[in-house]
């Protein structure tokens, strides 16, 4: 299983290198926890706190690791059912751009 704290750190670093989402996105890793990207107040802030979001992306921690290291394309992950999206698809595409570069 992938270390959630390490994933949080990687998402924080990656999100900081991108323009603000102008929305909130929740990465739901099931029992491993939540990562919330809040790009509504300037720079993207990344926390492990749960909260309301414009879109929720559900995946296993291992899938998030694959997205971050580039071994899984976000679109392919979605099509394979490894990544489920609930909410604003436009925001989901912005998040995919942040995670899947």
Query: What are the residue boundaries of the structural domains of the chain, listed by start?
Result: 4-88
Per-residue pLDDT of the chain (101 residues; tens, 9 = 90+): 468 899 999 999 999 999 999 999 999 999 999 999 999 998 999 999 999 999 999 999 999 999 999 999 999 999 999 999 999 999 999 999 998 76
At 101 the pLDDT is 62
Residues 92, 11, 61, CA angle at the centre, nearest 5°?
80
| Maximum CA extent, the chain | 33
CATH 3.40.50.720 fits 4-88, yes or no: no
In 2-100, alpha helices (H)? 4-16, 61-69, 74-79, 89-99
Pairing label, strands 55-58, 84-87: antiparallel
């Amino acid at each position: 299983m992938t270390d959630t704290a390490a994933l949080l750190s990687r998402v924080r670093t990656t999100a900081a290198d991108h323009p603000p989402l102008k929305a909130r996105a929740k990465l739901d890793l099931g029992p491993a926890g939540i990562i919330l990207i809040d790009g509504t107040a300037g720079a993207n802030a990344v926390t492990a706190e749960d909260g309301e979001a414009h879109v929720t992306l559900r995946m296993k921690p291992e899938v998030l690791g694959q997205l971050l290291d580039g071994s899984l394309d976000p679109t392919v992950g979605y099509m394979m059912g490894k990544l489920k999206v609930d909410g604003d698809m436009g925001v989901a595409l912005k998040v995919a751009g942040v995670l899947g570069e």
